[in-house]
Structure 1
Amino acid sequence: MNIIASCKAFRVSALKDSSSIFTNNINTYQTLSLNKVTSLPAKSRGIFHSHGRRLCTVVRAQQRPTWLPGLDPPPYLDGTLAGDFGFDPLGLGEDPESLKWYVQAELVHSRFAMAGVAGILFTDLLRTTGLSNLPVWYEAGATKFQFANTTTLFIVQMLLMGFVETKRYMDFKNPGSQGEASFFGLEAALEGLEPGYPGGPILNPLGIAKDIKNAPEWKLKEIKNGRLAMVAILGIFVQASVTHVGPLENLVEHLSDPWHTTIIQILSASNS
């Protein structure tokens, strides 16, 4: 009876202590728990170990959010990556080298999507309000500019984009290598903070997250906004293909009759 009573008292005290210990470090809790258990009788140790394993499992599930609650993430997605919620149904990230490249690819697509959504909405606002005589965004590529012909603009864009993408790939293969050689005095801007996160006064003029190693919140905010932008740009593409108008005109039309002007009704009408 004394053994059982002491074990119950210990389990209660361990539960009280665990709420603060678990929030900081589960491994520390387990180490402290094992030190305490060694002083208990053999039967009590078995009861504690069984209870401790269940409790650690519950805490891990609570502290590691996943895209589907209760789902165990794959082992190669351990939560260290920004925005890692264990989503990889096709198992594309099983290879560590491929996973590194997918992370960089998602970052680039996110940033292009954010820039694209902002550019489309801004120019569409100028167009719909009559402040500027701009074409609708999906016809902008066919616009003739007086300062240069289309072929020249295409070649210049390919050269500039090719240069930037080549430097980005080289920095991915050999992190920090692009800030070593002299390039018109822009070494600091080309060096980068880590692969995928450029720095310097040109590429990081506001000086946000200068210590990128200790900026998980900034990384998480960026990737969340980037994923939202990728979904938004896909919606803008679909709307333009079906309705042949800009996103703001679609929004105004929807708000004028929200119950009958939705994507479902529009797609149904286009297919009929």
Structure 2
Amino acid sequence: MSKSVPFLTAPANTKGWVGDVEFDPFSFSENFDMKWLREAEIKHGRVSMLATLGFWQQQYVTLPGMTPVTDSNLAPTVVGVGAMLQIIVWMGVLEFWTNKGNVTMETMFSDPKRVPGDLGFDPMGLASGKSEAEMERMQLRELKNGRLAMLAIGGMIHHNWIFGEPLF
């Protein structure tokens, strides 16, 4: 039985992955590639960590030439559709570039050496010279902070929707 949800069976495909707490109530790990699921979790966590910072920061800092808004949910309307489409297009280009054109679930991990979340970008050398245990500890930290940030940004957005007032 699962450690995190004792009335469910423990998912077999999550064993051995950093951050495994035997939580997969919808059996995604049985139906999808675990590398693809982990890649998605890491990407969403990283974006959510940036989003939580940007969400509350937008309330206090306004870029020159922009109209300040108190509700961060309305910030995309200030910059307009063109700027938002540029973000979407450039994120698509970045996704295509980092995966060498393999952007579908079937092809993303055609190279067996590819590790989920590893983009080969480490300008500060944080990963170099680390033991396997230290790397797993850092990966677990990133996963936990990313999971918390995903919950946090959802809470921040819904706070503004429900109460119609600034976060702070």
**Same-fold status (TM-score > 0.5):** yes
Partner of 2:10: 73
Larger proportion of helix: 1
Partner of 1:266: none
Aligned residue among 61, 69, 76 for 1:135: 69
Displacement of 1:230 in angstroms is 0.6
Aligned length: 156
Displacement of 1:173 in angstroms is 2.9
After the TM superposition, which residues 128-207 of structure 1 pair with which residues of structure 2 at under 5 Å, given as runs? 134-136=68-70, 137-144=72-79, 150-169=80-99, 170=102, 172-175=108-111, 194-200=115-121, 204-207=122-125
Structure 1 gaps of 5+ residues are 1-60, 145-149, 178-192, 249-272
Aligned residue among 20, 26, 29 for 1:84: 20
- Shift of the 160–230 alpha-carbon distance from structure 1 to 2, 3 Å rule, reads same
Displacement of 1:175 in angstroms is 3.9
The higher radius of gyration belongs to: 1
Secondary structure (helix, strand or coil) at the match of 1:156 reads: helix
In the alignment, the residues of structure 2 paired with residue 94 and residue 76 of structure 1 have an alpha-carbon distance, to the nearest angstrom, of 7
The answer on 1:224 being equivalent to 2:144 is yes
8 Å contact kept, 2:98–2:119: no
Aligned residue among 141, 145, 160 for 1:240: 160
Secondary structure (helix, strand or coil) at the match of 2:68 reads: coil
Q: What TM-score, normalized by structure 2, do the two folds share? A: 0.76
Residue by residue over 1:191-241, the C-alpha shift from the partner in whole angstroms, topping out at 9 and shown as x without a partner, is xx83312233xxx33221236882100110000000000111111111111
The structure whose RCO (Cα within 8 Å, separation 6+) is larger is 2
Partner of 2:58: 123
After the TM superposition, which residues 84-103 of structure 1 pair with which residues of structure 2 at under 5 Å, given as runs? 84-95=20-31, 98-103=33-38
In the alignment, the residues of structure 2 paired with residue 124 and residue 227 of structure 1 have an alpha-carbon distance, to the nearest angstrom, of 23
Secondary structure (helix, strand or coil) at the match of 1:114 reads: helix
In the alignment, the residues of structure 2 paired with residue 92 and residue 176 of structure 1 have an alpha-carbon distance, to the nearest angstrom, of 21
Displacement of 1:69 in angstroms is 6.5
8 Å contact kept, 1:110–1:223: yes
Partner of 1:112: 47
8 Å contact kept, 1:82–1:220: yes
